[in-house]
Structure 1
Amino acid sequence: MKTRVNRNMIDGKPAVHPLLSQEYLNRLNNVLEIAQNIPVSRERATWISNNIPVPNNEEIDVMRYRSLLLLFRDLFLQGWELTINNGVTSIQHPVTPENIETKQWYRRALLHERNKQLESESLNKFITKMEKERKYKGKTVSIKNIISPVEELLGLIQERGANAVQPYLQIIQSSLDRDEKTGLRLLDIWRYFRLTWTLPHKPTPGRNMFILVRDLAQEHHPVIGIAALGSSIVQITCRDNEIGWTTEGLRERVDTMNENEARITINSLTQSIIDSISEIEYRDLLHENIDLLNVKKYMQLLDGFLEREKSPSPSPPRVTSNADATIWRDVCFSPFYRKKRAKTLLKLFKAQVFFNNLNIDEPLAALQQLLMTSSGRSVISTALQSNKREKIGANMMDIIVCGAVPPYNFLLGGKLTSLLMMSPQILRAYEEKYKRQVSVIASAMKGEPVVKQSHLVFLGTTSLYETGSSQYNRLHIPVSALGENTPFCKIGFESLGVTKGFGTVYISDETVNAFSELTTKVYGRRIVNNTFGEGTSPRMRLIRAGLDVLGLPSDHLLNHNFKRIVYGIKLAGNAYEYLRGEEDTPSYYLNQTDPLHMTEKICTFWRERWLSMRIQNPNIIEQIREFDIEKFLLGRESAREQ
């Protein structure tokens, strides 16, 4: 009996069927067959690299072939495995060798892409500029001056004990801000130290804040640690469950709700729908004022409009938050946003019909009934997502960078930097920076400038490794230790769950650029423009689009299998209620009236809790003594890489 070969799977893994002409498919198979017999993954990647053709944006097959080889090179460098069976290729996730810890294996994979970044000409010029000595205020200075000299730090420890380190926050307000001690741009200082880390640095769109932690105890105020806040990742299931932005999260809450809590929940869901409708320009679509008690006719009008507008929407207009107020109406009436408004309104009206028919006399039963049916869950999801869209871009941020700079890493400067993310000084700086900033998407949907409240109530982050982070695990501040008289006992990092293991960090910028050129060639336009309004995670969407164009299993290849722990910090006792729209004003754990004083209290807590014990350890003192600034400098590392 003839055995049938399943061309879609090999040993339970998705097979790879690239969309190539037969000529280039033969070329690819020849290269991969040789690569399969090369036992060392790095040597396998080198073989692939030597066969990558020069860019050719005229021949679509050359572009596809080149993109495939670039991708295979990246995967092999990260330890992915290649299998060819009956002429069909499959790629398997990296398998950690038995003699190497998963953390070490993943670190090595990340380090390769980071080292590739350091090879670029622009970064080499930047590093040279930062390390070059120059005159400033009559003194010879460079980036070395703000790396703590070992002997000076040890001398201060011997003389002052835990008071040897006097931390303070320096929040970078502008790209033009300069360091008073060296004249270097503060953002360049931040960037230099970020480049010393294992994880390659990728700029993130949206809101951001860059932060230095400095040491007042020394002449040049050396950098203890660096941090950055960025716009929150939109979709993290375990975090959204915890906050209550998912039907699953709501179902768990309903099990313990009383009637009053259920009524508050229904009111917030209903109000979220009403508020979302009110924030969308509709008169060009419906030509009349909306009556929320009779919305079925509006659904018919929008259905008709969308039926006539079946062609793919063009890219959204390019517009920034500082655009002139008169621009927003033109943006709102553009084909992209007209269609986006119609789709959003139709979904909101469908939800409104359900809420209009709810029996609010028995709110708990009404909620339970909605959760029992798929249509009810869909309506709840629409309301929850409406609320989430309103809050996630303004009232929460992610800690995207947080850690210590040597030699302060030996003194747990990373924990200090993490603790300082809770300081009211950060919250006040965030509010001051964004309290007047116009929201691009909200303004484009309404046709006029929209400014959202910037009360920061929640911070999220993830560990670098699946084993968690010693910097975040169980890191809390007892509120009483800061002299606060509140009913809340502690503020800090809580583990919320794990990520699903999807990401793009192991795919190189060169490959991403090739995908961008390929998809532009195939579709006749750029399908991902990094423009506000077209969606989240532009890098992820671009890579997924490139994989789809190549005929590759995108879900399989984007799932790198390295899960991370998700952490969250509630900065207010009612943070989740505020984010769900159930309460209007945050009840912050820490006193907001004197941010600098609260920062000092956090630093004092760190000195007493960790630093005082750390400096009593002879092994730690010896590690500090062995720290060599010259070996730490990036210029030396770049020279070694070359």
Structure 2
Amino acid sequence: MSGNVKETIREIEAGKEFEPLGMALSRWEKEIVQSYIAHWRRSCPTELANQLRSLDRKWRSTRHMRRVCAVALILADLLDQDWLVTAEKGDIYVVPSELRTDVEFDPRKHKERLRRSLRKGRDKQVQEPSVRSFLNSMERGGVLSLIDSGADLLKELQARPHTVESLAEVIDPEVVVCARDVTDDVTGLNSLDVWRYFRHTWSLEYRPTPGRTMPIIIRNRARPNRPVIGIALLASPVMRLLQRDAWFGWSADALRQGLQDETQSVKQWLAQAMAVLENAISGIRYDDLISAEAVKKPTKDDIILLERKAAGADALRARLLEEVHSGEESTYLTRGAVKEALPETDWLEASSDPLFIKKRAEVLVSLLDAKRSLMSVSRKKLSREALLEFLDKREGDRFLTTIARERLKLAVSSQLMDVAICGAIPPYNQLIGGKLVTLLLTSKEIQNAYRTRYGGQASIIASQMAGRPVVKEAELTCLTTSSLYGNAGSSQYNRLRLSGEDHPELSNDISWQRIGKTRGFGSVHLSNATVECLRDASVDFHGARRINSRFGEGTNPRMRQIREGLEALGIESDRVLAHSTPRILYGCKLTGTNSAKAISKAWIRRWLIGRVGRDDLAARLLPLGPKSVSDELASDGEGQFVLPLEDGTVHSRSSSASAGTH
């Protein structure tokens, strides 16, 4: 056992700082997990993780053991992330790697450790029979012809003068937005399948993303077969993120600051606040909940009535979910479950789903409460100082939060996207292609594609809330992302700026800026198998699956399912989700319309020319190509190649053998 582990355990035994992981397990259930920890901890964390996962393989189908399996899988995932997992004094303790004592932080080692631990989940996923079948079918279909040869690319680059115009004849990016009806004209493969194949080369395991998504492939039309330079995914952002909202001016503090700066009169400020509220109220169907007069002049009694109706709809939905779980059919429950906005959708009926009755009532509670406060303040004609004093009180803070939330909703639902995936594919990853892909996300081609995909399309949730089709503007004005490797940062986004003064092709500057850090909180370190087991634990506890990844249930269903499962096990969710690895947030405001070609030329001048002139470029590029990517996807990350068997299972063989038959 390493010294730092011993020291951490000594602190646990001394009762310092660390609390046991609370679990609502019976004594014998807890003893099962503790016995595995006590026995296998003596070998190594990897072996302990493997043994804990063996519990799941043996007992998942047994209901009374599923709780034990869920706890075992959670602990196995934490061990993969180099957390300390130990059983001391009859309790189980978990300590994030960053909180272990006597460990000096090294950004380089920290980044490599995170990459290695995250890679474990991906390696497990690509060994699954269904994933191996998909990868093999894509390779048989010709996807490898879309991967450039590092040797050929090197030869082409070295044969040309190192000038922008000359190198632009070798790398000429093309933006392809993937969709179900878009087919690759080189291979005949579906573009979404092509995107998914390359997504499996990432160190993170592949997970479908709910909400708005734009999978993007960057191709090089200057080379044979227009090989893939890189891929990206724009996805719906989280609703609230303090640092991001403050940076873009969407927070409650920004609203308060606008009043303090005296850039507006009190009357103008209040009028704008009322306009925000009236616009939000107009987007909510209320005829079945409350009278028009009550909406015009809300009272406390009106708000109490809405709270009761929200609670009633919630209770009805819970009862119907239990009936469905027990095998009964419920058309009332499912009639509002809209998966796609179609012209024939009956939005009025969809708004009558119990979920949306509850949501409409709850939103009206906050909107009408804020309107009541605002009308009271307006009647009193408060001075600027008195209004600021009101905003510091509980009622005023609630009012300000509601106004900020409604402004934020508009931006997040139609103007902002999060860069969930972004990077280059070999061999372009050795040419700083990741920066090129990131910069191209700000191009007019991407903005036009976003407008085409979402402009004129009825918003599913907004339409169900309004009981009529609601079409929002689709103008992409902001992009955000976060570093995957925590405090180690991201070389891809650091110093990612292009100035129009330095690059005459650009019509405006492009600047990705660091805007803050996350709290070191999330679920990326929990595997799909663990999440599925947590879902089962929640269903067993509540008698129904209450979070069904439906539009309207709430943002980030995966996170909410994890929370619910952890609570069902008696585990405080923050103890597992707070991984203590804050991530750096980056943001970019899209203020112009640079073309992909202009951005590419600026990237060539700023980064590629220097990279092409490096002495080690040949060593970097020569090993890369179709075979290197295929071998990477066939490897389990430990130098073993995974081979599919006739029965659909897999086994491994040494990487020293030929990889041509995988």
Q: Which residue of 2 aligns with 1:165?
A: 170
1:50 aligned residue (48, 51, 54): 54
User: Which deviates further from its counterpart, 323-332 or 191-200?
Assistant: 323-332
Map 1:220-259 → 2, pairs under 5 A: 220-255=225-260, 257-259=261-263
| Aligned-pair CA distance for 1:533 | 1.0
Q: CA RMSD in A?
A: 2.8
Q: Does the C-alpha gap of structure 1 residues 470 and 240 become closer, same or farther in structure 2, counting only changes over 3 Å?
A: same
Q: Does the C-alpha gap of structure 1 residues 555 and 300 become closer, same or farther in structure 2, counting only changes over 3 Å?
A: closer
1:501 alignment partner, SS class = coil
Are 2:500 and 1:479 equivalent residues in the alignment? yes
* Cα distance in 2 for residues equivalent to 1:94 and 1:105: 10
Q: Does the C-alpha gap of structure 1 residues 571 and 18 become closer, same or farther in structure 2, counting only changes over 3 Å?
A: same
Checking the alignment, whether the CA contact within 8 Å between 1:458 and 1:571 is kept in structure 2 is yes
TM-score (norm 2): 0.85
Q: Which residue of 2 aligns with 1:139?
A: none
Structure 1: give runs of 5+ residues left out of the alignment. 1-5, 135-141, 573-588, 592-597
Checking the alignment, whether the CA contact within 8 Å between 2:38 and 2:87 is kept in structure 1 is yes
Q: Which residue of 1 aligns with 2:92?
A: 89
| Aligned-pair CA distance for 1:29 | 2.5
Are 2:353 and 1:338 equivalent residues in the alignment? no
Are 2:401 and 1:400 equivalent residues in the alignment? no
Map 1:253-272 → 2, pairs under 5 A: 253-255=258-260, 257-260=261-264, 265-272=269-276
Q: Which residue of 1 aligns with 2:629?
A: 632
Are 2:18 and 1:13 equivalent residues in the alignment? yes
Q: Which residue of 2 aligns with 1:459?
A: 479
* Cα distance in 2 for residues equivalent to 1:459 and 1:541: 24
Q: Which residue of 2 aligns with 1:274?
A: 278
Q: Which residue of 1 aligns with 2:409?
A: 389
Map 1:490-529 → 2, pairs under 5 A: 490-529=509-548
| Aligned-pair CA distance for 1:495 | 0.8
Post-superposition CA distance 1:254-293 (Å, at most 9, x none)? 55x2242766554333211111111111111124455534
Q: Which residue of 2 aligns with 1:146?
A: 146
1:62 aligned residue (59, 62, 65): 65
1:226 alignment partner, SS class = strand
Q: Which residue of 2 aligns with 1:607?
A: 604
Q: Does the C-alpha gap of structure 1 residues 435 and 373 become closer, same or farther in structure 2, counting only changes over 3 Å?
A: same
2:618 aligned residue (618, 621, 624): 621
Q: Which residue of 1 aligns with 2:302?
A: 298
Q: Which residue of 2 aligns with 1:121?
A: 129
Q: Which residue of 2 aligns with 1:103?
A: 111
2:422 alignment partner, SS class = strand
Letter in 1 for 2:567: D
User: Which deviates further from its counterpart, 449-458 or 474-483?
Assistant: 474-483
Letter in 1 for 2:516: G
1:618 alignment partner, SS class = coil
2:215 alignment partner, SS class = strand
Letter in 2 for 1:616: G
1:532 alignment partner, SS class = coil
| Aligned-pair CA distance for 1:321 | 3.1
Q: Does the C-alpha gap of structure 1 residues 640 and 268 become closer, same or farther in structure 2, counting only changes over 3 Å?
A: farther
User: Which deviates further from its counterpart, 367-376 or 459-468?
Assistant: 367-376
2:570 aligned residue (551, 555, 574): 551
1:398 alignment partner, SS class = strand
| Aligned-pair CA distance for 1:359 | 4.7
Checking the alignment, whether the CA contact within 8 Å between 1:262 and 1:364 is kept in structure 2 is yes
Are 2:454 and 1:434 equivalent residues in the alignment? yes
* Cα distance in 1 for residues equivalent to 2:404 and 2:210: 24
Q: Does the C-alpha gap of structure 1 residues 155 and 45 become closer, same or farther in structure 2, counting only changes over 3 Å?
A: same
* Cα distance in 2 for residues equivalent to 1:173 and 1:325: 26
User: Which deviates further from its counterpart, 227-236 or 149-158?
Assistant: 149-158
TM-score (norm 1): 0.87
Q: Which residue of 2 aligns with 1:77?
A: 80
* Cα distance in 2 for residues equivalent to 1:506 and 1:304: 39
Structure 2: give runs of 5+ residues left out of the alignment. 1-10, 322-332, 643-651, 653-662
Aligned residues with identical type, % of pairs: 31
Post-superposition CA distance 1:538-558 (Å, at most 9, x none)? 111111111111111210110
Q: Does the C-alpha gap of structure 1 residues 382 and 8 become closer, same or farther in structure 2, counting only changes over 3 Å?
A: farther
| Aligned-pair CA distance for 1:18 | 2.2
User: Which deviates further from its counterpart, 76-85 or 347-356?
Assistant: 76-85
Map 1:187-202 → 2, pairs under 5 A: 187-202=192-207
Map 1:274-423 → 2, pairs under 5 A: 274-289=278-293, 292-293=296-297, 295-296=299-300, 298-303=302-307, 305-306=309-310, 311=315, 313-314=317-318, 317-323=336-342, 325=344, 327-359=346-378, 364-365=384-385, 367-423=387-443
Q: Which residue of 2 aligns with 1:444?
A: 464
Q: Which residue of 1 aligns with 2:490?
A: 469
How many pairs align? 602
| Aligned-pair CA distance for 1:340 | 2.0
Q: Does the C-alpha gap of structure 1 residues 397 and 336 become closer, same or farther in structure 2, counting only changes over 3 Å?
A: same
* Cα distance in 1 for residues equivalent to 2:123 and 2:350: 42
Are 2:34 and 1:35 equivalent residues in the alignment? no
2:414 alignment partner, SS class = coil
Q: Does the C-alpha gap of structure 1 residues 301 and 68 become closer, same or farther in structure 2, counting only changes over 3 Å?
A: closer
Q: Does the C-alpha gap of structure 1 residues 294 and 499 become closer, same or farther in structure 2, counting only changes over 3 Å?
A: closer
Checking the alignment, whether the CA contact within 8 Å between 1:175 and 1:187 is kept in structure 2 is yes
Letter in 2 for 1:91: V
Q: Does the C-alpha gap of structure 1 residues 148 and 285 become closer, same or farther in structure 2, counting only changes over 3 Å?
A: same
Are 2:191 and 1:183 equivalent residues in the alignment? no
* Cα distance in 2 for residues equivalent to 1:527 and 1:293: 35
Post-superposition CA distance 1:426-453 (Å, at most 9, x none)? 0011010111222121111111111111
| Aligned-pair CA distance for 1:114 | 0.7
| Aligned-pair CA distance for 1:85 | 3.0
| Aligned-pair CA distance for 1:637 | 1.9
Q: Which residue of 1 aligns with 2:29?
A: 24
* Cα distance in 2 for residues equivalent to 1:212 and 1:18: 45
* Cα distance in 2 for residues equivalent to 1:502 and 1:281: 36
1:91 alignment partner, SS class = strand
Post-superposition CA distance 1:161-198 (Å, at most 9, x none)? 42353322232242232222222222222222211121
| Aligned-pair CA distance for 1:560 | 0.9
